[in-house]
Amino acid sequence: MKELSAYQADIAAFEASDTQVLGISVDSFASNRRFAEDLKLTFPLLSDFKRTVSKQYGILDEERDVAMRTTFVVDKSGVVQHIEQGSEAIDPSGVKQFCTLPQKN
């Protein structure tokens, strides 16, 4: 939740730099929709309920059947340019340099 709120707080800066923000969760579509409404997200929160994307990106914790908190910066060609995991993935400031965003002072 913290990372989604943090990205929402900076959404104007991401959009100004032609960067698309997407959230992906292993929760159901209905659950994600309610969650997005509660947080007032203006970017898509997608459902990876079958864990397909999480497996493909190597972030599925199969023992607990959850996706590890991860932020990927993917360029327009589909190439992953940067990855942040764990607590670093919560704060969008670490990925901004890979999105050509102006830093907040």
Domains and CATH numbers, the chain: 2-96 (3.40.30.10)
Q: Looking at residues 6-10, what average pLDDT do you find?
A: 91
What is the reported pLDDT for 66? 94
pTM for the whole structure = 0.80
List pLDDT tens digits, range 66-99: 999 998 988 888 888 888 898 888 888 878 777 7
Q: Across residues 30-53, what is the average pLDDT?
A: 96
- pLDDT for 100 equals 66
The candidate with the shortest Cα–Cα distance to 68, out of 81, 55, 80, is 55
What are the contacts of 49-54 at 24+ separation with CB within 8 A?
51/26, 53/24, 54/24, 54/26
Tens of pLDDT along 10-34? 999 888 888 889 999 999 999 999 9
| Contacting residues for 25 by C-beta, under 8 A, at least 6 apart | 31, 32, 35, 45, 46, 47, 48, 67
